[in-house]
Amino acid sequence: MSNNLKICIYAICKNEEKFVDRWYNSMKEADEIVVVDTGSTDNSVQKLKALGIKVYQKIFSPWRFDDARNYSMSKISSDIDICMSTDLDEVFETGWRKKIEEVWIKNKTIQLRYKYVWNVLENGQDGLTFYYEKCHARHGFKWIYPVHEVLTYMGNLKTDNIAIADNLVLRHYPDANKSRAQYLSLLELSVKENPENDRNTHYLAREYMFNNHLDKAIKMFKKHLSLKTSTWKDERSASLRYIGDCYFKKNNLKQAEKYYKKAIIECINTREPYLALAKFYYETKDYIMCIIIIKAMFEIKTRTLNYMSQSDCWNEIPYDLLYMSYYYLGNYKDAYDYCIKALTFEPQNPRIKNNLIIFKNLLDSSH
């Protein structure tokens, strides 16, 4: 363990006053906390300064996340060993500093990989979870891209000097009311600046899909798949199933099914494309195929922790599809059995509990 490490938390902020106290209380194990406010009109700056945080104010025009984060990083004291970039809607568990110190080797480790929970579900369980690497050495790093920015190492040490802290978890509690309308134009700028960048192309296609620009989304996903650098199977599979989603919304069921199947072939060992195809069969009332695909999905036992990983693949949702498919096929015994399994994930869920009663009554009446 290194006991002589100095750690800094740094962040950018705009109108985050409701998160300030919670964020500070989870970050105060750091030796230094630096925040750059980018134009708050609420009491964010006053609250941060009252807590003794170093606050700098700067307007970025045109707005870019990478410029703001690089400016924030530039305000960190030069003698800091470890920098951790967080946002004010994120929270560490108490004791996070010790977990970093246990794996970080001074003058050797350049970055730390830890678990990031993108959303916490209504039942309190962790939702989408994947690895993050926004903890890094003080020198040699730069943020790039206008949005969905990436931390890039520009130094001379070995880039594989990355420590792993599986017991370190940062949780995100996003503000559902906060506008993210700027993301689309910033992603278009990202792709314009780097037209061969597969990651940003995928993100732009996804943003088109989120905004219901289905034809643009399909075209951009297909561009992503055509790029020479598009080699990550998980992301390629996601593009294929998202194309399927777009075609489904356009009521082109033949093309939708085709791309859902392609998504499975592209990445056969992850659950996400199977669930997408199973949902397609359920919505099109092909209940036998829905059951077949869900059971094939259950053969995949290992959950991959990247941002493509969907919690719905590992909770009650697949069992919902199963028991309802059996119900519509008139197989009330299997409907009842799989409903019980769904209930193990959500014991107090009134919908599942009510379905279980219905299936039990149907079984009793059939004897």
Q: What is the pLDDT of residues 60-119, one digit of tens each?
A: 999 999 999 999 999 999 999 999 999 999 999 999 999 999 999 998 999 999 999 999
The total number of structural domains that make up the chain: 1
d(CA 8, CA 97): 10
Angle subtended at Cα 120 by Cα 7 and Cα 239, rounded to the nearest 5 degrees: 95
Residue 294 has pLDDT above 50, yes or no: yes
CATH number of the structural domain spanning residue 33: 3.90.550.10
pLDDT of residue 201: 97
Q: What burial class does residue 331 get, using C-beta atoms within 10 Å of its C-beta: 0-12 exposed, 13-18 middle, 19+ buried?
A: middle
Q: Which residues contact 295 (CB under 8 A, 6 or more apart)?
A: 322
pLDDT grade, residue 1 (50/70/90)? very low
Q: Is residue 356 part of a domain?
A: no
Q: Is residue 87 part of a domain?
A: yes
Q: Is residue 303 part of a domain?
A: no
131 and 111 Cβ atoms separated by less than 8 Å: no
pLDDT of residue 3: 59
Q: Tell me, what amino acid is at 223?
A: K
Q: Where on the phi/psi map is residue 104: left (φ > 0), alpha (ψ -120 to 50), or beta?
A: beta
The residue written with tokens 């996400």 in the block is 272
> Angle between the 272-283 and 317-328 helix axes, to the nearest 10 degrees?
30
Residue 18 has pLDDT above 90, yes or no: yes
Domain holding 156, by residue range, is: 7-172
- Tell me which residue of 229, 159, 168 sits closest to 195, measured CA to CA: 229
pTM of the predicted protein model: 0.84
pLDDT of residue 179: 66
Q: Is residue 246 part of a domain?
A: no
- Tell me which residue of 145, 180, 19, 179 sits closest to 86, measured CA to CA: 19
